Amino acid sequence: MRKVDLVYTRVRTEEKLLLEALRRRDCAVNLVQDSGMVLSMDRQRVTEADTVLMRSMSFTRARYLATFLEMKGLRVLNSARTISLCGDKALTSAALAAKGVPMPWAFVAFDEDACLDAIDAKGYPVVTKPVLGSWGRMVARLDSRTAAEGVLSTRFGTGGAQDHVALVQEYVDKPGYDLRVYVIGRTVGGLRRRSEHWITNTARGAVPERYEVPVVHARLAEAAADAVGGDMVAVDLLETRGGDIYVNEINHCVEFARSIDETGVPLPDLIAEYVASGAGGARR
């Protein structure tokens, strides 16, 4: 029997379904709320479990907890490296670029004027997003120099040093949807997210649709997962009107409550199967 600690922030639909799926596979599951965890910086054993399923909603907590749990010898899914890369969009881009995975062109800048000059050289429109952030929050499309000045003066004039990073990305004129491919060890399915708005997060109202993942998309998503060492990730793809396909972002804590009915992909079972299989994790 595999012993699994499921680390969570809130027990949402996803966590309830994962808990049931793990128990159906005879896993002994401990539920551990991330806010109550205290981890000493030594290799002292902290759990009877051999595997940790990291479902913390907080990137900060997930990254630190996974790092320390791996240091203590545990198999953590996803790994601390994957969480660190996927949670920071600039580092995701760097990991994809290092492996030659097709993606929208992108750059980072650390100064308002330097950033404006670089955008002027590339031409409008462009997209800028915070390197840390989720659910499409604070993502902006800049259609003109005037818009860029407004957004970037806020980006560089407020917050702290961590906020003073501008990630600028090619604006991809999507045909009314983007694509999400689930990679649980291998590609297991996906969904199309349709929206009139150029931001296509289901958390922002996009409608999920069934989507049979073609082989070329599956291979691309798997290459992206490999680039970040991801065991169980959701890879967001952007398709251009000309038919080119790019990797946009990679999500390390897969959310599926809003789309599981439409996709028909049994993600809780597939994730639980992967956890129970003993594959992947920090001991690779």
Partner 1 sequence: MQVQNPMTESVTPNQCPLCAQPVPGGNRLVGEVLSCDGCSAELEVVGVNPLRLEEAPEVEEDWGE
Which residues sit at the interface with partner 1, rule CB under 8 A?
A: 5, 8-13, 16, 30-33, 36-37, 46-47, 49, 57-60, 87, 132-135, 137, 203, 234, 251-255
Smallest gap from Cβ 87 to partner 1, in A, equals: 8
Closer to partner 1 by CB, 137 or 283: give it: 137
CB 7 within 8 A of CB 65: yes
Closer to partner 1 by CB, 10 or 210: give it: 10
CB 8 within 8 A of CB 255: no
User: What's the alpha-carbon Rg for the chain, to the nearest Å?
Assistant: 19
Closer to partner 1 by CB, 121 or 161: give it: 161
Closer to partner 1 by CB, 148 or 271: give it: 271
Query: Nearest to residue 280, comparing CAs of 156, 186, 153, 150?
Result: 186
Count CB-CB contacts under 10 A for residue 234: 25
Smallest gap from Cβ 260 to partner 1, in A, equals: 15
- Cα 198 to Cα 23, 127, 138, 141: the distances in Å are 40, 11, 13, 9
Instruction: Give the integer Cα–Cα distance in Å for 210 and 220.
Output: 19
Instruction: Give the integer Cα–Cα distance in Å for 67 and 84.
Output: 9
Smallest gap from Cβ 40 to partner 1, in A, equals: 12
Residue 99, classed as helix, strand or coil, is coil
| Beta carbons within 8 Å of 276's beta carbon, 6+ residues apart | 2, 22, 25, 26, 27
Closer to partner 1 by CB, 46 or 218: give it: 46
Smallest gap from Cβ 134 to partner 1, in A, equals: 4
Smallest gap from Cβ 256 to partner 1, in A, equals: 10
Smallest gap from Cβ 143 to partner 1, in A, equals: 27
Closer to partner 1 by CB, 16 or 145: give it: 16
